[in-house]
Structure formats: C-alpha cells, structure tokens
Amino acid sequence: MQIYLVGGAVRDQLLGLSVKDRDWVVVGATPEQMRELGFIPVGKDFPVFIHPETGEEYALARTERKSGHGYQGFTFHTDPSVSLEEDLLRRDLTINAMAMHEDGSLIDPYGGQHDLKEGILRHVSPAFSEDPLRVLRVARFAARFNPQGFKIAPETLQLMRQISQSGELEHLSAERIWQEFEGSLNADYPLAFLQTLNSSEALERVMPELVNLDWLSAEAVMSHLNPMKPSPEQRFALICQIAFKEICQKEALINFCTRLKAPKRFQQAALDLLEWHQSLSRFDQVSAEQRYHLIKSLKLLRQPERLSCLIPPTLALHPDAPEDLDNRCTLLMQRLREVNSTTWSTQGVQGKALGEAMEKAYIAICSEF
C-alpha cells in the first residue's frame, strides 16, 4: 500500500499558496484493508474513506469509463492493481494531476510542474472532453489564477468548445453550475470565469442572460470594486447590475437567480443594488422623504447588513459619490435608532397616530443629514 498527496494541495504548495484541503490517493489497497485500518467509508459510487483522526479524504486509486450523459455519467473501477499514473490520467488539468510521496518527492507524469511555471491551464488527456463540468472548472481556475497570469492552452480551449457544441452542458444541474459560479465569485476576477465560458461558447448555454454583458464596462466597474475587498455577494450583485441595468428588468433578474438556484442572500444583494444604487449614490442630494423611503423600504433599522452589502458596489458604479458615504449613512442609522416610541406612548399616543409621529421624527432627522 502506498499513500500520496494529490491534486490541489500539491499544486498550491508548489505555487507557494496556503493549502486549505488535502486529498490523498491510496494505491494497492482494498476497501476491506482500509476499514481494518480504521478509515470510515463514505463513498457511494467509488471507495472514499475519511481518516479517523484528521478527517481528510482518502480515495482508492481508480479509473473511469464514460457510461452516460453529464458529469455523473461515469463508471468507476477500483482495484489494487490500478497505478498512481492511471489515477492521475483521469484528472482534468496537468496542474491538478501531480502527486507527492510521503517523503516530499514529486510525481509528475503529465508535465504539471512545467505548466505551473509557464502559467498554462492544459488538459491531461482526450478524456477531458467526456466530462462537461470541466468546462466550468477550467473557467473557475482561470478566475482564481488570473492574478498569476494563467492562460488556457489553445488545444484545451478547443476541446471546451467541442463540449459546448455537443449538448453535454445541458445535462449539468443548476446546483453544479451555481457551485462553480460561486467559486469564481470568491476570486478577485470572477469576470475571467464568465469570459472563459463566453470564449468556449458555454456561456450562452449555461447563463444566456449574461451573453451580452458589456465586458469593458464590467472590467472598469470591477476594478473600482476590488480595492474594497468585496464579498462574493457584492461581486454577484455588480455583475447582475451590469447585465440587467434597469429596475424594469427586476423580474428577469429574479428569474435568473431562481433558475440558477442562487442562495437568497445573493439574490437579495442583486435586487437591492438594481433598485437602490441610484438613490443611495445621491443620498445627500435627495429629499428627506426620499432618504427615509430608502431606509424604510430596505428595512435598514432591522437589517443594517443590507446597507453594508449595498454601499461598495454602489460606490463602484458611482465613483463620484461621497467616499465617506458608508460612515455618513452609519451615523444616520445611529440617530434614527435613538427614536423611541415611549416618547409618545407615555403621552397616550397609540396606533396609527404613533406610527405617524415616529415617521415624522425619522424624516426630521433625515432632513438634517
């Protein structure tokens, strides 16, 4: 039995990046042997085991054969005779097809280290084209490694186009498409994800709503957002704003988020930006009633996180807006929270009259802004 560190952990270690998750491949073992050693089986389609102490995944070396449509249409074969090189051959990119022995020595049968140094995303074998999910995975890697200048090998991009034209992308679930998209939103350059999908003819099939994105405007606005250390939700909201533009497209935006099964917090961030960025950018110019309408509509006194999420992409869209907009809005919220209903209820003011009195006080404070 031989155990090797594989995949992303080896890649990131060679790049000098922090390694978050470590995956292992076990060569020359059977499921029975793994269980006898205390490993906990979790795999349904192929034997994957959890280390009883570290919680890390250990998979038996395997090969695979295409047996159906989509990324799940594979039959896996595990056997003690399957070699490490055979296991690595089934992986997507050469930079992910390296392994490391326990003594730290590198096993690199497909040139991954060379491609790391050259900044190339290159497929390992023609079997790459059998899995449509790899189009989105390569796009996600293009977003993640954009700062390092990584480019997709022309022959790999051609295979990605062939996959797009084959109809296999239609077999991807919304959940898997969103998972890869969200992964790119954790990177500083999610536009590279979308641009890669566009150049591989996949964008029109998985996210047709974004095909006509104004790439130059998107890049300019994103360059304003990145210094603010945005969250994935803020990046998503800004992309949606550039794609859907006007409040009249609110229903289309909702349909887009629903079809992709985007989590509620992403949809909320996108809708808030679409509807309120104009008013927020001119917050010191609009009337007190308009300020209060924004605060009331967004329920900011109860959900201040919505304002925190809204301000950075608004500033990216409106570079001429006050730089201290966040601080000024925060101070205003603090003033508004000082309004206490007991001021009027002790005087016998109740019901609708109480609400009107508090609203008048809110507007008065907003007028001082």
What is the CA 23 to chain-centroid distance, rounded?
21
pLDDT at 3 (0 to 100)? 95
Residue 104's Cβ-count burial label (10 Å; 0-12, 13-18, 19+) is: exposed
pTM: 0.89
- Residue 65 pairs in a beta bridge with 75
Residue 255 neighbours by CB under 8 Å, 6+ apart: none
158 sits in which H/E element = helix 154-166
CA angle 338, 341, 342 (to 5 degrees): 105
Q: Which of 237, 241, 174, 245 is nearest to 205 (CA)?
A: 174
Tell me the backbone φ, ψ of residue 168, rounded to 5 degrees: -65, -30
pLDDT at 67 (0 to 100)? 46
Q: Which domains does the chain have, with CATH numbers?
A: 1-118 (3.30.460.10), 132-211 (1.10.110.30), 213-337 (no CATH)
29, 5 contact by CB (below 8 A) = no
pLDDT at 45 (0 to 100)? 64
pLDDT at 70 (0 to 100)? 47
| 3-state DSSP assignment of residue 250 | helix
Per residue of the chain (369 residues), give pLDDT as tens: 899 999 999 999 999 999 988 999 999 999 899 999 999 998 666 689 999 999 999 999 988 765 455 455 446 677 888 999 999 999 999 999 999 998 989 999 999 999 999 999 999 999 999 999 999 999 999 999 999 999 999 999 999 999 999 999 999 999 999 999 999 999 999 999 999 999 999 999 999 999 999 999 999 999 999 999 999 999 999 999 999 999 899 999 999 999 999 999 999 999 999 999 999 999 989 999 999 999 999 999 999 999 999 999 999 999 999 889 999 999 999 999 999 888 888 888 888 999 899 999 999 999 987
CA angle 303, 304, 305 (to 5 degrees): 90
**Dist CA 365 CA 369 (whole Å):** 7
Q: Is 167 left (phi over 0), alpha (psi -120 to 50) or beta?
A: left
